[in-house]
């Protein structure tokens, strides 16, 4: 590419605003029509699909939870058979962890991170499209299997030998294992995109100490995914090998080891908790400044806390295995590392409290959810410190105490901030405000319902009620509290129903939001709501952590990008100095075909090892189509 072949006026700084917007729309748009919709690589469209799909899975998982509560409301209930119940609690756990919690955080990041760092699209946008289709296929696999009475029934961590070939009949455990492969594949893809977007596509001037905290949280989370997910892929693939081709990796009778599974699973499974919690912490750190009217207190401490949590999260998986008979000295080490992770969590809480203390809180729904988050997450963190103690854990492990603990951490610690984030960012996505009045009701119902539902479970656990039992005998003293818990869950369900109703209603009938309804300081509020396909007409340049507060009238902008092809700016990793103009891929249908070919291979491999031999051929063909040069301007640059 040389400058002499340039037609006149193909650079953004040569055009007036209306012409510029028209040219950029022409270059970046997703045309209407069925195939164009399937071919899009726009991070906002894919992000919306991801968010919507994840919330559908949340609703489905919630229905399962409701069914379990009906069953447990009375002893010896016959509503669900043991077999159905075991499928339901397995589905609830697997669905919520793999199809809701992790994907929804990545979904929000897919939508927001490119806007927050001020670029036009996510890195590797076709991979992004591919990851969504794979995620959707994994979710459909699990739910269709469940509808066909083939749903996994071995618990969401599928301990061997129960899930092994000797005891796990049929294809149920294989469906679980392969669903893992789908969701891990999509999570890994998204993580790579986010790391590259955050490292290389930040707006000029956004040095490492000016990255919004949500983007920092997603950066750390993405590294956790990249380092933790291989362990679970090894585990689930080994399980399929045991089940399909008769290896004995986990079979103690033939020299395998049943505990090896637990080490592999929890080496992934514990970071998994932080893969869900860290993005939520990033959301809190981003929402707080807007609703307290001051910068978050302790930016550096918060970033260090995120990184420290990420590092420590790899050193405490054994606290899930305290009753497996490990040597005591080793177990004590893991007690120390598990309680140590409370320190970075505490530092974050203290910094948020300081922000609230010095700022001027504006009690809008997003802030209400942040306050609810602090109240409940501290309880979950403290019970987490309790279960980190080896002796204490021998009494509460695998009881309703632990069920209460992890719901406090995951719902209180991640879903509350997520709901706050939806109230905060949905106006950016739909261009319309959600109702404050209903928002207070949603918060009130969910906060009250959640605590009434889950707090009594601590007591049930101490009273000896194990988790994962489909029923209990009438002479056990658990009936009263179980009735109370089941009744309270109705309040929680009502809160979520109202939330879903309100989210859908506001998207159609809400008041117009305008570009920055909250007077928020980060770059995603510098463009219209919803943002145009190219995100920013002119790429912003920042010189601080809160660009819209520091330059309230007009942002500095960078110029010189071509408007007749998809181009964005690549900046240096630390200082975010502009380095190059980089082409960004056009829409393509091939990621969908590649995802379909991968899906066929993965599902086929549940039934026959030959899938691994023949399956890659169609995958290879679709990848060739994906990367084949098509003579577009992006290919030439």
Partner 1 sequence: MPNYVRLLPPLSCLLLASCSGWQSALNAHGTSAVNLKQLIILIVALCSLVWMLVMVALIGALWRRRPERILPTELDPRRERRMSSAVIAATIAMTAVIGGFTVASFFTTRALGVAGPDDLTVKVGGSQWWWNIEYLNPQSDKSFRTANEIHIPVGRNVRFQLEGDDVIHSFWVPSLAGKQDLIPGRSNELTIRAEHAGIYRGQCAEFCGLQHAHMAFLVIAEPQETFANWVETQRQHADDPPDEERAAGRDAFIAKACASCHTIRGTSASARPVPISHMSAAANTLLLACSKPPVARSRPGSPIRKH
Pick from 66, 230, 315, 361 the residue near partner 1 by CB under 8 A: 361
Within positions 520 to 549, which residues make up the interface with partner 1, using CB under 8 A?
Answer: 521, 544, 546, 549
* Closest approach of partner 1 to the CB of residue 136, in Å: 29
Within positions 378 to 437, which residues make up the interface with partner 1, using CB under 8 A?
Answer: 378-379, 382-383, 385-386, 388-399
Smaller CB separation from partner 1, 336 or 617: 336
Cβ atoms within 10 Å, residue 221: 31
Pick from 74, 247, 435, 471 the residue near partner 1 by CB under 8 A: 471
Smaller CB separation from partner 1, 114 or 547: 547
Smaller CB separation from partner 1, 365 or 588: 365
Smaller CB separation from partner 1, 442 or 460: 460
Residue 444 region, left (φ>0) first, then alpha (ψ -120 to 50), else beta? alpha
DSSP 8-class letter at 154: S
User: Strand runs (DSSP E) across 181-331, as ranges?
Assistant: none
Interface with partner 1 includes 35 (CB under 8 A)?
A: no
Within positions 189 to 248, which residues make up the interface with partner 1, using CB under 8 A?
Answer: none
Structure tokens at 47: 């992000």
Interface with partner 1 includes 477 (CB under 8 A)?
A: yes
Interface with partner 1 includes 634 (CB under 8 A)?
A: no
Interface with partner 1 includes 75 (CB under 8 A)?
A: no
* Closest approach of partner 1 to the CB of residue 164, in Å: 8
Within positions 147 to 176, which residues make up the interface with partner 1, using CB under 8 A?
Answer: 154-155, 159, 161-162, 166-167
Q: How far apart are CA 217 and CA 281, in angstroms?
A: 7
Interface with partner 1 includes 258 (CB under 8 A)?
A: yes
Cα 376 off chain centre by: 20
Pick from 48, 248, 440, 468 the residue near partner 1 by CB under 8 A: 468
* Closest approach of partner 1 to the CB of residue 276, in Å: 22
The residues, any chain, with a CB within 8 Å of residue 471's CB and separated by 6 or more, are 71, 72, 75, 76, 77, 82, 85
* Closest approach of partner 1 to the CB of residue 471, in Å: 5
* Closest approach of partner 1 to the CB of residue 552, in Å: 9
Residues that contact partner 1, how many (by CB under 8 A): 87
DSSP letters spanning 204-236: TT--GGGS-HHHHHHHHHHHHHHHHHHHHHHHH
Q: How far apart are CA 400 and CA 402, in angstroms?
A: 5
Cβ atoms within 10 Å, residue 607: 11
Range in contact with partner 1 (rule: CB under 8 A) among 416-424, 448-456, 457-465, 591-599:
457-465
* Closest approach of partner 1 to the CB of residue 416, in Å: 14
Q: How far apart are CA 110 and CA 121, in angstroms?
A: 9
Within positions 548 to 577, which residues make up the interface with partner 1, using CB under 8 A?
Answer: 549-550
Cβ atoms within 10 Å, residue 360: 9
CA distances from 386 to 335, 389, 396 (A): 10, 6, 9
Interface with partner 1 includes 444 (CB under 8 A)?
A: no
Asked if 569 contacts 598 with a C-beta cutoff of 8 angstroms, the reply is no
**Cis upstream peptide for 161 (omega within 30°):** yes
């Amino acid at each position: 590419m040389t400058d002499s072949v340039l037609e006149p006026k193909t650079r953004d700084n040569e055009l007036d605003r209306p012409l510029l917007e028209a040219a950029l729309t022409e270059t970046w748009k997703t045309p209407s029509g069925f195939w164009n919709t399937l071919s899009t690589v726009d991070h906002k469209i894919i992000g919306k699909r991801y968010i919507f799909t994840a919330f559908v899975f949340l609703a489905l998982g919630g229905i399962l939870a409701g069914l379990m509560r009906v069953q447990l409301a009375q002893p010896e209930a016959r509503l669900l058979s043991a077999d159905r119940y075991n499928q339901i609690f397995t589905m609830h756990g697997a669905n919520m962890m793999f199809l809701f919690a992790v994907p929804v955080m990545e979904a929000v990041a897919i939508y927001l991170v490119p806007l927050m760092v001020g670029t036009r699209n996510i890195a590797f946008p076709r991979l992004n499209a591919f990851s969504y289709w794979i995620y959707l296929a994994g979710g459909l696999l699990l739910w269709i299997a469940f509808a066909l009475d083939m749903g996994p029934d071995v618990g969401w961590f599928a301990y061997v030998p129960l899930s092994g070939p000797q005891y796990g009949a049929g294809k149920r455990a294989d469906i679980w294992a392969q669903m893992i492969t789908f969701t891990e594949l999509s999570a890994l893809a998204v993580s790579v995109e986010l790391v590259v977007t955050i490292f290389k596509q930040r707006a000029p001037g956004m040095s490492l100490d000016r990255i919004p905290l949500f983007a920092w949280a997603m950066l750390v989370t993405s590294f956790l995914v990249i380092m933790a997910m291989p362990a679970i892929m090894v585990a689930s693939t080994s399980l399929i090998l045991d089940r399909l081709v008769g290896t004995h990796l986990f079979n103690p009778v033939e020299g395998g080891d049943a505990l090896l599974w637990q080490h592999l699973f929890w080496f992934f499974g514990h970071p998994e908790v932080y893969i869900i919690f860290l993005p939520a912490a990033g959301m809190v750190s981003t929402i707080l400044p807007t609703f307290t009217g001051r910068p978050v207190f302790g930016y550096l401490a918060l970033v260090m806390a995120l990184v420290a949590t990420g590092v420590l999260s790899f050193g405490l998986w054994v606290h899930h295995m305290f009753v497996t008979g490990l040597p005591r000295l080793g177990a004590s080490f893991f007690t120390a590392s598990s309680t140590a992770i409370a320190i970075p969590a505490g530092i974050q809480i203290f910094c948020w409290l300081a922000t609230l203390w010095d700022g001027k809180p504006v009690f809008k729904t997003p802030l209400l959810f942040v306050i609810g988050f602090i109240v409940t997450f501290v309880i979950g963190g403290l019970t987490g410190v309790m279960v980190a103690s080896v002796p204490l854990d021998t009494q509460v492990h695998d009881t309703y105490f632990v069920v209460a603990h992890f719901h406090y951490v995951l719902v209180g610690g991640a879903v509350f901030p997520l709901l706050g984030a939806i109230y905060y960012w949905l106006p950016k996505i739909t261009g319309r405000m959600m109702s404050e009045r209903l928002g207070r009701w949603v918060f009130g119902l969910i906060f009250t319902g959640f605590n009434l539902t889950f707090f009594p479970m601590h007591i049930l656990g101490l009273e000896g009620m194990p988790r994962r039992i489909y029923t209990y005998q009438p002479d056990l003293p658990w009936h009263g509290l179980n009735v109370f818990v089941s009744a309270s869950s109705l309040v929680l369900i009502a809160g979520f129903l109202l939330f879903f109703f309100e989210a859908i209603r506001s998207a159609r009938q809400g008041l117009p939001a305008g570009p920055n309804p909250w007077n928020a300081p980060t770059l995603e509020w510098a463009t219209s709501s919803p943002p145009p396909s190219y995100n920013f007409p002119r790429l912003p340049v920042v010189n601080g952590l809160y660009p819209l507060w520091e330059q309230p009238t007009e942002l500095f902008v960078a110029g010189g990008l071509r408007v007749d092809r998809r181009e964005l700016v690549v900046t240096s990793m630390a200082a975010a100095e502009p380095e190059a103009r980089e082409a960004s891929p056009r829409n393509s249908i091939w990621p969908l075909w590649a995802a379909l070919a991968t899906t066929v291979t993965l599902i086929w491999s549940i039934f026959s090892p030959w899938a691994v031999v023949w399956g890659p051929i169609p995958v290879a063909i679709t990848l060739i189509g994906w990367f084949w040069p098509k003579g577009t301007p992006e290919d030439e640059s």
